Chain A
């Protein structure tokens, strides 16, 4: 329900145009305040009615696609879920996700994240090749429960933006990619744990994490990547000790 008043709210938006600006700057826009508007509505209003040059990513507008993640007053948030009313009447500062290079205005370069998803092999690696005629892979509700939480990740990268370790050491595989690796490691249909260990048990993998815990706090889907990383550390440590045993893996 939109308010009928002529109230307005100021958005201080991060602007950067690689062709024109040696350094980024902030630009203020006064937008109409509506009770049911989110920051993304305000950005779309600026783009449609005030300044077509503003560049930002968005798609579904309902917390599913993971495209509209930005820093809102310093917090990593999906802008489709950040209501203006929660900040009104104070100004709202909107910046691109921390830790990533900025391509233009609010759009970050996500190539590094995409490469990390490949590094950790975030897909199902079946135990054996299977023909279609052999039927489906069966799984019990208890087996599904083991990994379901980690499978809810929408690749929004808010966890990377909240992680100071990633901001300081971009070699770090990072929260979402490790949570997704753990998602497949815990899947009863999967047999790729050893293949993924090469990336996630490396120095740049789980052992780079110092358990700040902010990744889990900002996750819009309660995936708990911090938990996934610590559980992967535990699994790696157990494997390492097992390998020391006479009949262990080695």
Chain B
């Protein structure tokens, strides 16, 4: 008797608020992060065999492949930026009675991201 009336949650609950929709988009971008990691594994595996790599490389030049790559880039960037923006919630550094400002924590992560990305670009191009 005391439990009360439970209101049903519609399957479209995540469309009812912009912040919920953006959260779902952030979660959805994980599919592209995982998918692209898998693609990189396939790429490395194919690169071992120059004969089959030529046809694989040609397929990568197709318009569909280029569209997918641009989409994956946008999704991975969104995933990265939203993730790095949340780091000040997780990493708390105290200096006496004061917390280190959130922009310093997020900034340090962005800097690390840029340095790591630069190192990867240098490694690939050299």
Chain B residues near A164: list those with CB within 8 A: 13-14, 20
A111 and B9 contact, CB distance less than 8 A: no
Tell whether A109 pairs with B3 under 8 Å between CB atoms, given A167-B13, A210-B27. Answer: yes
- Beta-carbon nearest neighbor of A144 in chain B: B97
Chain B residues near A231: list those with CB within 8 A: 89-90, 92
Chain A residues near B34: list those with CB within 8 A: none
Q: Which of these, A142, A211, A212, A230, contacts B97 with CB under 8 Å?
A: A142
Give the number of residues in B that approach A within 8 Å (Cβ atoms): 25
> Which residue, A98, A100, A211, has most C-beta atoms of chain B within 10 A?
A211
| Chain B CB within 8 A of A227 CB | yes
- Beta-carbon nearest neighbor of A233 in chain B: B90
| Chain B CB within 8 A of A106 CB | no
Q: Which of these, A24, A100, A146, A211, contacts B86 with CB under 8 Å?
A: A211
| Chain B CB within 8 A of A81 CB | no
- Give the CA-CA distance A227 to B91 in the complex, in Å: 9
- Give the CA-CA distance A231 to B89 in the complex, in Å: 8
| Chain A CB within 8 A of B63 CB | no
Chain A residues near B96: list those with CB within 8 A: 142
Chain A residues near B103: list those with CB within 8 A: none
- Beta-carbon nearest neighbor of B9 in chain A: A167
Chain A residues near B2: list those with CB within 8 A: 103, 109, 111
| Chain B CB within 8 A of A159 CB | no
Chain B residues near A111: list those with CB within 8 A: 2
Q: Which of these, B7, B20, B86, contacts A102 with CB under 8 Å?
A: B7
| Chain B CB within 8 A of A145 CB | yes
Which of B71-112 touch A at CB < 8 Å?
Answer: 86, 89-92, 94, 96-98
Chain A residues near B126: list those with CB within 8 A: none
Chain A residues near B17: list those with CB within 8 A: 74, 214
| Chain B CB within 8 A of A217 CB | yes
B16 and A234 contact, CB distance less than 8 A: no
- Give the CA-CA distance A108 to B13 in the complex, in Å: 20
Known contacts A142-B97, A145-B97, A168-B13; 5 further A-B pairs (Cβ under 8 A): A24-B5, A101-B4, A109-B2, A145-B94, A231-B92
* Pairs across A and B, CB under 8 Å, 8 listed: A18-B5, A141-B97, A142-B94, A167-B9, A213-B19, A213-B86, A230-B86, A230-B89
